[in-house]
Structure 1
Amino acid sequence: MTALSTNNARAERSNKERIPVFDGIRGLSASLVIVAHVAFATIVLSSAAGPPREGFWSIIAAGNDLAIGPFFVMSGLFLYRPFVRYTMAGDKYPHLGKFFARRAARLLPAVWLLAAVSLVALNWSSIQGFWYVVRPFLLMQVYDYTYYAGMDVAWTVPTEAQFYLALPLLAWIGHLFAKGADTPRKKARRMIAPLLALIPIQLAWVAYVHIAFDPWPPQYFYPLGMTGVLTIGMAFAVWNVLAELSPQDTPRSFGFARRHPNLLWAGLLVVFAINCLKPFATPGTADWVSAEAAVTHSILFLLFSYLVMLPLVVPGAASKLMKVVLANPVSRYLGRISYGLYLWHFPVMYVVFGSGSLFEETYLPVQTLLGKFGFWELFVLTFLGTLAVASVSYWLVERPIVNWVQRKTATRKRVDDNFIPPSQPALTSV
């Protein structure tokens, strides 16, 4: 039995049995997202404004736009794994009612709170009827495209929600491919096959959006632009179950990760450096790029996400360095409130800038307020403010609702097959 436990009943009760490095990577990724967005509000400008405002630091900051990838990888890994266990190990099929209830409890309360606060505090003067108010609560602001100040990053929430809806269908397709195979290895290969198609779909969609549309169209935010990185997480789920059921068939990448975990992270630094150079684009800027540049960035995004997560997914592979960076109390706490850190930093930034209905009749996009703050001043104010708001959101809204839904959907323990040694924590997606 691996650290990524297979026991569904224990997983339902595993809120206190979190894997430290996964919490840490959530916290680090959310913090880096804040760094990136503060940079794009201060020192990373369009090339029409001239050379990078802060030279080398602007180039580094502009390259820091890959950090969201681990969140999607973890979604694919955690949520697909029970379905993989059903196909490969004969476990009970996941209860879809409970699955959707728990996903809704984790995803919706925080973003609904964000929508309510953003509408009142930042967009009140822009309200134009009932649909304007309801649209963000239905996660429709991307499709019936409407910009809401403070919900700048919430475009990823519809992507997550639609992945939840599509996952049972994707799992059914994988099961159809694999059900005739007679060994875990063959089943794993057949389950991976349909997943591989999702990676070129991401690249093709990115190219299409940058060829067919004017800069920053609504289609840029559609879920097809994230299918590949979700696929990486789903492939990790398949490989992890294979390694558990048939250790001799462990993927070579897993063996390499155990032997050389730090080398993988060295590789991601190379990918990050290449991304900073912005192939086919201008380093240190925030331009709408060509299709060649966009596809190249998408490939780097996939590679970065894979290299970050591989040594964390393989049981026992995380190095001492990774544990120091990710498993310390600060990183773990930031990981617990990472969803709030991700959602709330833009509203906090608008408040710091004094832009929105609380301060004037209409909001001004943060990009129009460049020069009012320097990078570090805005970052400190934004991060500390977001830390406070995200903590309140987590402890008073998110965690109580998740706990309540989990209690209501808990499955009674069966002593014969639900025991997990205390040294083997359950895999949890919350």
Structure 2
Amino acid sequence: MKGRDAALDGIRALAALGVWVLHVGGHTGLMYRDGMYAWMMSRLGIAVPIFFLLSGLLLYRPWARAVLEDAPAPRPARYLWRRILRVMPAYWLVTVPVLLAWSSLDWTGWVKWLLLLQNYTEQEQAPDGLYQMWTMPVEMAFYLVLPVLAWLLHRWARGGDRPVRLLVGIAVLPVVSLTSVVVSHALQQYQLALWLPHHLVFFAAGMAMAVLSVWGKGGKAVDAMAPQLLVLALLLYAVLSTELAGPRELTLPSLSQSLWRLVLESSVAVLVVAPFALAPRRDSLRHRVLGNPVAAYMGRVSFSFFLWHAPVITLFYKLTGSPLFTGDFVQIVTVTFVVTALLSAASYHLVEESALRLSGRGSGAAPPPPAPSPQPAAPAPAP
């Protein structure tokens, strides 16, 4: 589809499927069993950094182009309007019926969930079927602050070598994330893991890739080393799938585990996305594999897939009466995939595409927002 990168859509599709497998594995208890396979399943929350990185890459790139190529910068009001239309209609389509069916919130609770404020109040257990939604306030917070960050970076870059100064300015953001981790542990305010500063490192990695892609630097080297980078990503994912990066159970990680997890997740996300974002050779094997029509389409509907998969899993357990941490993994994977995929396709074509047309953009011009996973680096994730 014109205006899209099929391989990046393929990455988004794989990450979305990883989120779904993570939650089926959590509900069936499979990811809490012994063995490396279970540990690696429990780290499929790597989808969070990947999707946040993609947001930083795709959304900051027009501003990077404005600095480096003197192109027109996005108008903040129009940009924010498009972001709201891109996210909120589909989010409300799922959240409203789920809250009606499975929650007993008062009006303040409804306001909190409908306006994406659930991360900023006293933390309570999420309503059934909405445990994945903690990442939505993080994503929306980035949308809101990006025009300010872009303006500050633009002013900073005017003082010299623009690409280098942009990268130096962006390098401040990971320091904010590291500081957030340390502060959350020092003050025992673990809900800070649900706020944007904790995750800025992932968005910053995408913003840096946006600068490099516009600048045109590093593409040949990344292309030549693409297989090695992807193998290294797999090896680091294996390291991530150990206690070095924290427990699998509902216990809090230590400070060192949280820091290791932040570093490892950032590294894996960069190594996975860089060969496609910085060396976009559509004739390469990696692009043909991830950019195939099925994967690309799955990437386009991934936001709806993210929204619907948790309610579908929850509904399966309620209808069958199965206790949590039980159930046949293969059966639940099969049933929930088919139902979620059908709902996602309908939601995408009937709601998301209509919202995109209302915003003045065709469906091919606007990348889907991330389909994040409910697995923050700290506190420990809920199944």
TM-score between the two structures when normalised by the length of structure 2? 0.88
Match of 2:211, SS state, is helix
Give ranges in structure 2 of 5+ residues lacking alignment: 369-383
Is it true that 1:63 corresponds to 2:49 in the alignment? Answer: no
CA distance in 2, matches of 1:53, 1:241: 45
Task: Evaluate the alpha carbon distance shift between residue 131 and residue 395 of structure 1 in structure 2; reply closer, same or farther with a 3 A threshold.
Answer: same
2:226 maps to 261
1:80 maps to a residue whose letter is Y
Task: Evaluate the alpha carbon distance shift between residue 256 and residue 350 of structure 1 in structure 2; reply closer, same or farther with a 3 A threshold.
Answer: same
Q: Which has the higher helix share?
A: 2
CA distance in 2, matches of 1:317, 1:207: 40
Which stretch shifts more, 259-268 or 317-326?
Answer: 317-326
Is it true that 1:87 corresponds to 2:67 in the alignment? Answer: yes
Corresponding residue to 1:53 among 33, 49, 56: 33
Offset from partner CA, 1:62-85 (integer Å, 9 cap, x none): 232212222111111111111112
Offset from partner CA, 1:162-204 (integer Å, 9 cap, x none): 11111111111111111132xxxx1011111121111122122
Counterparts of 1:136-151 in structure 2, within 5 Å, are 136-144=113-121, 145-146=123-124, 147-151=126-130
Do the aligned residues in 2 keep the contact of 1:348 with 1:386 (CA within 8 Å)?
Answer: yes
1:209 maps to 184
Is it true that 1:404 corresponds to 2:358 in the alignment? Answer: yes
2:175 maps to 200
**Bigger Rg, structure 1 or 2:** 1
Counterparts of 1:262-281 in structure 2, within 5 Å, are 262-279=227-244, 281=246
1:423 maps to none
CA distance in 2, matches of 1:302, 1:16: 30
Match of 2:294, SS state, is helix
Corresponding residue to 1:303 among 267, 271, 292: 267
Match of 2:118, SS state, is coil
Do the aligned residues in 1 keep the contact of 2:281 with 2:287 (CA within 8 Å)?
Answer: no
Do the aligned residues in 1 keep the contact of 2:282 with 2:288 (CA within 8 Å)?
Answer: no
Counterparts of 1:239-388 in structure 2, within 5 Å, are 239-243=212-216, 250-251=217-218, 254-279=219-244, 281-282=246-247, 285=249, 287-317=251-281, 320-354=284-318, 369-371=324-326, 373-388=327-342
2:84 maps to 104
1:391 maps to 345
CA distance in 1, matches of 2:6, 2:28: 33
Do the aligned residues in 2 keep the contact of 1:202 with 1:228 (CA within 8 Å)?
Answer: yes
1:166 maps to 145
Do the aligned residues in 2 keep the contact of 1:257 with 1:317 (CA within 8 Å)?
Answer: no
Corresponding residue to 2:105 among 101, 115, 127: 127
Is it true that 1:157 corresponds to 2:144 in the alignment? Answer: no
2:231 maps to a residue whose letter is A
1:7 maps to none
1:9 maps to none
CA distance in 2, matches of 1:285, 1:44: 12
Which stretch shifts more, 202-211 or 268-277?
Answer: 202-211
Match of 1:288, SS state, is coil
1:233 maps to a residue whose letter is G
Do the aligned residues in 1 keep the contact of 2:245 with 2:261 (CA within 8 Å)?
Answer: no
1:237 maps to 210
Corresponding residue to 2:193 among 220, 229, 232: 220
1:178 maps to 157
CA distance in 2, matches of 1:337, 1:256: 32
Shift of 1:402: 0.8
Match of 1:68, SS state, is helix
1:35 maps to 21
Structure 1 runs (4+) greater than 6 angstroms displaced: none
1:74 maps to 54
Shift of 1:280: 6.1
Match of 2:72, SS state, is coil
TM-score between the two structures when normalised by the length of structure 1? 0.79
2:108 maps to a residue whose letter is W
Match of 1:220, SS state, is helix
Match of 1:279, SS state, is helix
Give ranges in structure 1 of 5+ residues lacking alignment: 1-14, 46-51, 244-249, 361-365, 411-425
Do the aligned residues in 2 keep the contact of 1:159 with 1:222 (CA within 8 Å)?
Answer: yes
1:116 maps to 96
Do the aligned residues in 2 keep the contact of 1:114 with 1:344 (CA within 8 Å)?
Answer: yes
Match of 1:332, SS state, is helix
Offset from partner CA, 1:131-172 (integer Å, 9 cap, x none): 222221111111124422222111111111111111111111
CA distance in 1, matches of 2:296, 2:245: 37
CA distance in 2, matches of 1:115, 1:17: 30
1:429 maps to a residue whose letter is P
2:170 maps to a residue whose letter is L
1:143 maps to a residue whose letter is Y
Shift of 1:428: 4.5
1:74 maps to a residue whose letter is L
Shift of 1:285: 4.6
> Quick one: percent identity of the two aligned structures?
28
